[in-house]
Amino acid sequence: MTVQGLNLTVAARPENLAVIRQALAGYADAVGFDSDAIADLKTIVTEACMNVVVHAYPDGTAGPLEVSVEPDEHGLEISVRDQGSGFRPRPADVEDSGLRLGLPLIAALSDEFEISGGGGGTEVRVKLGYSRNGAEEESGDERHDPETAEGMVMSIAAGAFVRPVLARVIGALAARADFSVDRLSDTILIGDAVSAHDASDFRQGTVGIELSDGMGWIGVRIGPLVEGGGERIVDGLELPGGTSLSKLASDVTVKREQMEGGDAAEYVVVRIDR
């Protein structure tokens, strides 16, 4: 899948809202949104994603929450989707005046706003830009397998937008995993190095990143890469001060997987401990 914008899939959980917000703020910053527009975008995305977290799935299950961003000449088109079975009333024991404010907030802050869906999931689609004239339709994204909802799956076109998005996402995850400031900066260096890596090593020019985290650790899976790309990423990461990736990370491996059509793809799997 070639991606023009940014795609993210995370488990629909409250703690992932900040990560999504940071990723989109980084992207919007990189495409030239001013700080007011970024602030509005953060509110819109948070409110739309919160609806998924609160309403999409039965209590105790965190299905996938998918966010995609497509740029056009007017600004960004943002889609927030779930695979739930339609709107679920909030639990009766939750008293919250705030939950009634979410959709009006999205409507007020966006240039265009629509909700669609039914049995197969709900989608909130929003356009936000400098001008009031939207354009473009359909981002044509594939859906990710619900089983991937544990971690965070992200794909973004190789190029200038990778770094700001990845830095913010990794920063948010590291803060959540309670990393020290030193470890946080190490972790962001890894993101920077991946961002700077030659786009030709990424299949279809799309940087795929899967992130996972737990108590005191972050996992990063980079790929699919072309053959030899994995080794080049591991060898070629030139971090300041001559530090190598394997010194910063607790574990670095290159894995090869068979793709559909017989091609082999490589992935670099990195684990960083607190």
Partner 1 sequence: MITFSGEHDLNTAPDLRQKLAAELEDGFAIVVDLSGAAFVDSSILGAVLDARRRAREAGVAFEVALNEGAQPVERVLDVTGLRASLPVHSTRGAAIEAARSGPAGE
Q: Enumerate binding residues for partner 1 (CB under 8 A).
A: 14-15, 17-18, 21, 36, 39-40, 42-43, 46-47, 50, 53-54, 95-102, 104-105, 108-109
What does DSSP say about strands 121-129 and 112-118: parallel, antiparallel, or unpaired? Answer: antiparallel
* C-beta contacts of 197-203 below 8 A and 24+ residues apart: 197/232, 197/233, 197/236, 197/237, 198/232, 199/158, 199/159, 200/226, 201/225, 201/226, 201/228, 201/229, 201/232, 201/233, 202/158, 202/226, 202/229, 203/265
Instruction: Give least dist CB 104 to partner 1, A.
Output: 7
Under a CB-based contact definition with an 8 Å cutoff, are residues 167 and 107 in contact? no
For partner 1, the closer CB: 101 or 160:
101
For partner 1, the closer CB: 15 or 73:
15
For partner 1, the closer CB: 1 or 101:
101
Instruction: Give least dist CB 177 to partner 1, A.
Output: 14
Tokens 């260096």 belong to which residue?
Answer: 189
Instruction: Give least dist CB 103 to partner 1, A.
Output: 9
For partner 1, the closer CB: 31 or 39:
39
For partner 1, the closer CB: 14 or 86:
14
3-state secondary structure 223-263: EEECCCHHHHHHHHCCCHHHCCHHHHCCEEEEEEEECCCCC
Beta bridge mates, 168: none
Instruction: Give least dist CB 248 to partner 1, A.
Output: 27
Instruction: Give least dist CB 273 to partner 1, A.
Output: 23
Instruction: Give least dist CB 150 to partner 1, A.
Output: 17
For partner 1, the closer CB: 90 or 247:
90
